[in-house]
Every structure is written in C-alpha cells, then in structure tokens.
C-alpha cells in the first residue's frame, strides 16, 4: 500500500478503482454526461472507460462554464466519479461543480501519482484528512 | 477564511436559507483555494437555465423556492431558445412553455434575462478594478483584459451563489499578483479581420501559453470586434487574462504589463501559425454546405451591418440554413436599421437569446422531464466565420466544419459550396 498526502480541495471520502489520465481533462465534452464514459480522441486508450464510482486522476481541468453544468449533470445521472485527484493544480470550474455535487477533490499529492498509480488499482481518497491510499491491483 | 460580521451572519443563516447554503459553498470553495477573505462583487453574469440541462433548471427552481434574490446587478448567459422566435427555431410548444417558466422565475429572482454570451453588448460594463463573478469564458476574458475587471474562470450554476450573497473568495485573478504578464508574445502576423484575431487567440491560448497571462506586442489598432474574438479564443485554452499595452485596460507599457519585470525571451507568432489554426479546424470533406452560422460570440451591430451589406438583394441557396445570432438589445437596432429585413430577404434569420450549440441541438444529457426535444438533424458541413464556433460547433453538433472569412461564408451560403 502507498499513502500520499494531498491538499484537500473539496471535503469528503471516496474509494474505488483508479482511472489515471496523465493529461488535462475537459469534463464538458470528454465525459459522456449520461453514461459517464470518457470520449473523444484525446483520451487515448481510456476512451469508453466509465468514470462512475471510480477515482479519477488527471493533471488539471480545461474549459469553463460548461464544466460546472457537466459535473452537475453527471452527478445527477448517477455516473459521477467517487473522488477526483487533480494532480498539478485544481481548476475553478471543476471544483465549483464538485462542491455543488458533493464530489471529494484533492490536489497536488506529495508523490507523483503517474509513477505510482495505474488504472485499475484500488484507491481510497480521504479528502477531509488529505490522504490518498493506493492498493496496487496485483496485491489486492 | 476571515469573514466579516455580515458574511458570518449569512453563514449562520440569519439572511435566510438560500443565502446560507450559497455562503457555505463559497466558503468551502474559498478554503480550497486558500482565499484569506471574500470580496464584494458588483456584478454577476449567471447561468441562463437551459431546459435541455435539467440540473441547471433544478438549481434555479431550488433557490427560487427558498426565496433567493440577486443582491447585485446580474445578467444571464444564453438559454435554450430564442424567447420570441422559438417557433421559427422548430421548438415544440411544451419545450417553449418550460423555458418560459424558467424565464419567469429568473425575473422574480431579480436576474436581468439578457440571455447572451456578450453581456457588455446589453450594457453590463463594470468599472475597471471591480470584482465580478461570471460564467462564459469569452466574457471573463473580455472583461478581465479589455475592461480591467477582475474575474476568475467561473462556471455554470456556481456564479448565482455570488449573486445571492454579493460575495466571492479573494484569490486568482482577484489578486494583483496574479494579473501580471507571464509571456511576451511578438505578433508578426498580419491580422486582416476579427476571424484572424480569433485564430491568433486560439494559437496563443491553447498551444503557446497554457494558463499564463500573455502580453502581446505588434497588434495595431484592433477593433472592438477584434478584441471580442481574441478574448473568446484566448479562453479556449486556460487563459482568462491578457494584456496589449496601450490597448487593454491595465497596461500602457510593456513594463506595466509585466509589473516591472519584462522577460528577456519572446515568443514569435507568424503568419504560418495563423494558417495552421485554419487548417486544423478544416474537417469538412464534402464541398456542399448545410449550414452557415454566424454570431459566435453574439454579433455586434457593426458585424450585422456587414452581413446585411453583403447579402442585400441576393438569395441564399435553398439547401443552406443561414443563421445570425445576437443579443436582443442589438437586434432591436438591427430591425430599425433594416439589417434584419435584408437578412430575412436573403433567406436567413437573426435569432437572439441562444445559439446553435445551446438550443435543442445542444449535446445534452437529460432535459427537463415532460418536454419534447427534437432529434438533431445531420448538420453535414458547418461553415462559420468564428474560430471559436469552428472549434466547438462541429464537435458538439457531431458534424464537419470549416472556418471561412465572412465574405466567403456569404459566398458559400449563396452557392451552397465552400470550395
């Protein structure tokens, strides 16, 4: 198990399998609001993967107004991630949507998740205490 | 966060449950971004409650039922139909009725229902240095840069919380230190019109600067429309503020733009970079045109005048849809100037309050219950003079696109072919 410290952005707790996207993400336009599936060419091999109940890692968010609408729609359709880790910095629209929809967010973990977390690993995000625990898939 | 007595009272519920809930979220938000205190906002541009996004309507209705009122001047973003010409847009009765219900509630909550991405064309021009909360990235960037107003990148329903409280956490672009230039850009391209300014904005905002504050030199006598387009496209990256010394509000000189520390290195933008943007957005393969869509961001009266002068006495191709989108304040003038008539005689329409990607064709998830949303037609090849629209339009409408100069857009509408 790996334990990282991270900055709490939106309080809460979430656990689930990791989806690790080593790039920026525009939630509006790159996540299907009805199904929670990643879409578009820019998401590479993760295209079609569903974020529902997962711990979603990405560098930072892109785009603006639409992001808040998209996060709120995704949450109300029951396909929201269990928590979000914004690795490089938190962006305002993503955080605004997560506050409104109660999705925990942490940012800037003290270890680089792209070196330590793989898609499919089990992750627990205790945002309130600023802790991210990773249980690699093979050891589970 | 350090709160004033008034803010503390809001948080404790002494100003009612709507204000309390809004304040709770604003405090959580501020703490996430290490804000030390709140600022007073003197203007908010809020979500327009599109019936194609049921959560935006839920939000408005929830706060309406709690008795929330906008405490500061507040305008609204585009909504999901032209409030008077919805029949001409092909909008069903039940859809329109639902949107009118939302409109009524927004007005009861003291929102000015401008329904535009360019509220400055409806008279909302906050003084330099004032703090605001605003949806719409093109407006944030226009107001930050051209007007010297202070706005972060805010989205969707969240800005209404600032309307209900009059508050926003002090961080990001609300602080002096985050408003200084980070990149010096030397523009060595010839920019012929606002379409070119849009291409410049996308190149810098998306591909050069990332989330910095670019400072541009080499820009000569831009028009209002040029700056509108430049702002809209800078914002398609993560840029919310740029400076053009001598032109935009906060800097007369390069030194001022960089708060005294001019970088040694400069990034050069050439004609090739501008041309590359057009090439990147050219996804159309079929030479036939299905739709020519103008007014992204909403057109000014001057832009509509140009269209009217190009189409007067001519007819569009019968297979082509020809739309111009603007704000109602501008349409009233376009009507009286005869521009609307010229465009209608051509076979096109001027619509207000919405846009082609915000109406019934919007890539929605779940509309409000019990309304009919027509199935989106195949838009085939989408032609526009706006780089912003050429970037987002075909993607959201799932069709192919090409960005052309205005004169070529009109030619395409007449001949039915873009090449």
Domains of chain B from N-terminus onward: 5-175 (3.30.499.10), 180-273 (3.40.1060), 282-415 (3.30.499.10)
What is the mean pLDDT of the segment spanning A64-81?
91
The yes-or-no verdict on residue A40 having pLDDT over 80 is: no
The yes-or-no verdict on residue A139 having pLDDT over 60 is: no
Residue B196, chain A, CB below 8 Å: the answer is no
Q: Which two tokens stand for residue B263?
A: 């970088």
Q: pLDDT tens for residues B197-229?
A: 999 999 999 889 977 999 999 999 999 999 999
Question: What distance in Å separates the CA atoms of residue A69 and residue A67, rounded to the nearest whole number?
Answer: 5
pLDDT above 70 covers a percentage of chain A that reads 96
Q: Are A86 and A50 in contact (CB under 8 A)?
A: no
Please report, for residues A50, B77, B206, B263, B415, the alpha-carbon distance to residue B136 in angstroms, rounded to integers and kept in the order given: 28, 7, 17, 31, 34
Does residue A90 form part of some domain?
A: yes
Which residues fall within 8 angstroms of residue B403, CB to CB, at 6 or more apart?
A: B195, B199, B278, B281, B282, B383, B384, B385, B386, B387, B389, B390
Work out how many domains chain A is built from and give that number.
1
Surface-to-core class of residue B264, CB atoms within 10 Å of its CB (0-12 exposed, 13-18 middle, 19+ buried): exposed
Does residue A128 form part of some domain?
A: no
Is B47 within 8 Å of A64 when comparing Cβ atoms? no
Instruction: List % helix, strand, coil for chain A (3-state, nearest 5).
Output: 30, 30, 40
Is A76 within 8 Å of B136 when comparing Cβ atoms? no
Does residue A134 form part of some domain?
A: no
Q: Are B89 and B53 in contact (CB under 8 A)?
A: no
Does residue A109 form part of some domain?
A: yes
The yes-or-no verdict on residue B164 having pLDDT over 70 is: yes
Is A77 within 8 Å of B366 when comparing Cβ atoms? yes
Residue B135, chain A, CB below 8 Å: the answer is yes
Q: Which of chain B's residues have a Cβ under 8 Å away from the Cβ of A90?
A: 32-33
Q: Name the residue facing B155 among A66, A73, A77 (closest C-beta).
A: A66
Q: Which two tokens stand for residue B393?
A: 């339009």
At B419, the pLDDT band (50, 70, 90 cuts) reads very high
Does residue A63 form part of some domain?
A: yes
Measure A76 CA to nearest chain B CA, in Å.
Answer: 7
Question: What distance in Å separates the CA atoms of residue B184 and residue B55, rounded to the nearest whole number?
Answer: 41
Mean pLDDT of all residues in chain A? 93
Question: What distance in Å separates the CA atoms of residue B290 and residue B349, rounded to the nearest whole number?
Answer: 15
Q: Which of chain B's residues have a Cβ under 8 Å away from the Cβ of A65?
A: 47, 77, 135-137, 154-156
For residue A82, what are the domain limits? 2-116
Q: pLDDT tens for residues B239-263?
A: 999 999 999 999 999 999 999 999 9
Q: Which of chain A's residues have a Cβ under 8 Å away from the Cβ of B140?
A: 64
| Positive or negative: CA dihedral A39, B371, B134, B124 | positive
Question: What distance in Å separates the CA atoms of residue A121 and residue B270, rounded to the nearest whole number?
Answer: 46
Q: Name the residue facing B365 among A63, A77, A93 (closest C-beta).
A: A77
At B363, the pLDDT band (50, 70, 90 cuts) reads confident
| Positive or negative: CA dihedral B175, B176, B179, B183 | negative
Q: Which two tokens stand for residue B254?
A: 């390069």
Question: What distance in Å separates the CA atoms of residue A38 and residue A15, rounded to the nearest whole number?
Answer: 19
Size of interface A-B (CB pairs under 8 A): 108
| Positive or negative: CA dihedral B414, B417, B418, B419 | negative
At B143, the pLDDT band (50, 70, 90 cuts) reads very high
Q: Which of residues 18-37 of B touch A (CB under 8 A)?
A: 25, 28-29, 32-33
Which residues fall within 8 angstroms of residue B241, CB to CB, at 6 or more apart?
A: B141, B144, B145, B173, B179, B213
Q: What is the pLDDT of residue A64?
A: 66
The yes-or-no verdict on residue B394 having pLDDT over 80 is: yes
Q: What is the pLDDT of residue B195?
A: 98
Q: Which of chain A's residues have a Cβ under 8 Å away from the Cβ of B77?
A: 65
Does residue A123 form part of some domain?
A: no
Phi (first) and psi of residue B43, to 5 degrees = -165, 145
Alpha helices in B3-158 (DSSP H): 5-12, 17-32, 54-65, 93-108, 137-142
Query: Which residue of chain A is at minimal alpha-carbon distance from B238?
Result: A62
What distance lies between CA B155 and its chain's CA centroid? 11
Which residues fall within 8 angstroms of residue B263, CB to CB, at 6 or more apart?
A: B181, B183, B184
Beta strands in B333-405 (DSSP E): 349-352, 381-384, 400-403
Phi (first) and psi of residue B167, to 5 degrees = -125, 155
Q: Are B38 and B75 in contact (CB under 8 A)?
A: no
Is B157 within 8 Å of A62 when comparing Cβ atoms? no
Q: pLDDT tens for residues B82-130?
A: 999 999 999 999 999 999 999 999 999 999 999 999 999 999 999 999 9
CATH number at residue A79: 3.50.30.10
pLDDT above 90 covers a percentage of chain B that reads 95
Residue of A30, A66, A103 to mutate for B, most B C-beta atoms under 10 A = A66
ipTM reported for the complex, 2 dp:
0.93
Which residues fall within 8 angstroms of residue B8, CB to CB, at 6 or more apart?
A: none
Query: Which residue of chain B is at minimal alpha-carbon distance from A90?
Result: B33
Strands A7-10 and A105-107: antiparallel
Which of B134, B273, B268, B149 is CA-nearest to residue B202? B273
Query: Which residue of chain A is at minimal alpha-carbon distance from B172?
Result: A92
Measure A70 CA to nearest chain B CA, in Å.
Answer: 9
Q: Which residues of A touch B (CB under 8 A)?
A: 8-11, 29, 32-34, 60, 62-69, 71-74, 76-77, 90-93, 95-97, 99-100, 105
Does residue A132 form part of some domain?
A: no
Residue B47, chain A, CB below 8 Å: the answer is yes
Is A92 within 8 Å of B25 when comparing Cβ atoms? no
Question: What distance in Å separates the CA atoms of residue A55 and residue A85, rounded to the nearest whole number?
Answer: 7
Is B156 within 8 Å of A97 when comparing Cβ atoms? yes
Q: Which two tokens stand for residue B407?
A: 């004169």
Is B238 within 8 Å of A73 when comparing Cβ atoms? no
Mean pLDDT of all residues in chain B? 96
Q: Are B104 and B67 in contact (CB under 8 A)?
A: no
The yes-or-no verdict on residue A65 having pLDDT over 80 is: no
The yes-or-no verdict on residue B232 having pLDDT over 70 is: yes
Residues in chain A, overall count: 140
């Amino acid at each position: 198990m790996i334990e990282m410290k991270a900055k709490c952005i939106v309080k809460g707790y979430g656990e689930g399998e990791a989806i690790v996207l080593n790039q920026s993400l525009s939630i509006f336009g790159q996540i299907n609001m009805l199904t929670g599936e990643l879409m578009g060419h820019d998401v590479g091999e993760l295209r079609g993967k569903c974020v529902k109940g997962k711990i979603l890692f990405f560098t930072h968010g892109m785009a603006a107004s639409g992001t808040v609408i998209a996060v709120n729609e995704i949450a109300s359709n029951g396909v929201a991630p269990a928590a979000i880790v914004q690795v490089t910095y938190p962006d305002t629209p993503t955080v605004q949507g997560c506050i409104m929809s109660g999705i925990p967010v942490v940012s800037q973990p003290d270890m680089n998740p792209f070196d330590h977390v793989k898609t499919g690993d089990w992750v627990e995000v205790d945002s309130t205490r600023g802790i991210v625990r990773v249980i690699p898939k093979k050891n589970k | 966060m350090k709160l004033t007595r008034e803010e503390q009272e809001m948080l404790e519920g002494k100003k009612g449950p709507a204000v309390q809930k809004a304040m709770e979220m604003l405090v959580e938000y501020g703490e996430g971004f290490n804000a030390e205190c709140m600022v007073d906002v003197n203007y908010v541009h809020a979500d327009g409650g599109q019936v194609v996004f049921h959560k935006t309507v839920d939000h408005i209705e929830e706060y309406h039922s709690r008795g929330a009122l906008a405490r500061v001047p507040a305008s609204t973003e585009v909504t999901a139909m032209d409030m008077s010409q919805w029949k001409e847009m092909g909008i069903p009765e039940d859809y329109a009725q639902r949107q009118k219900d939302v409109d009524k509630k927004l007005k009861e909550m003291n929102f000015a229902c401008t329904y535009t991405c360019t509220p400055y064309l409806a008279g909302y021009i906050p003084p330099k240095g004032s703090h605001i909360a605003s949806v719409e990235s093109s407006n944030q960037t226009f107001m930050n840069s051209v007007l010297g107003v202070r706005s972060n990148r805010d989205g969707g329903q969240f800005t209404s919380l600032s309307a209900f409280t009059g508050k926003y956490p002090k961080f990001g672009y609300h602080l002096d230190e985050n408003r200084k230039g980070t990149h010096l850009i030397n523009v060595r391209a010839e920019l012929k019109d606002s379409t070119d300014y849009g291409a410049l904005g996308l190149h810098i905002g998306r591909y050069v600067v990332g989330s910095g504050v670019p400072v541009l030199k080499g820009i000569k006598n831009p028009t209002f429309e040029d700056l509108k387009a430049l702002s809209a496209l800078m914002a398609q990256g993560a840029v919310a503020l740029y400076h053009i010394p001598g032109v935009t509000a906060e800097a007369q000189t390069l030194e001022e733009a960089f708060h005294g520390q001019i970088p040694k290195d400069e990034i050069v933008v050439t004609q090739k970079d501008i041309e590359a943007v057009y090439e990147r957005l050219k996804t159309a393969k079929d030479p036939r045109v299905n739709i020519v869509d103008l007014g992204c961001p909403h057109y000014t009266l001057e832009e509509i005048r140009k269209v009217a002068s190009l189409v007067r006495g001519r007819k569009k191709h019968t297979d082509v849809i020809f739309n111009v989108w603007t704000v109602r304040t501008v349409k009233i003038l376009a009507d009286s100037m005869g521009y609307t008539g010229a465009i209608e005689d051509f076979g096109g329409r001027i619509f207000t309050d919405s846009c082609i990607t915000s109406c019934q064709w919007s890539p929605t998830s779940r509309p409000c219950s019990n309304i009919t949303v027509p199935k989106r037609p195949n838009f085939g090849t989408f032609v526009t003079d706006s780089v912003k629209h050429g970037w987002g339009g075909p993607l959201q409408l799932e069709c192919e696109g090409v960005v052309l100069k205005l004169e070529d857009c009109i030619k395409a509408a007449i001949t039915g072919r873009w090449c």
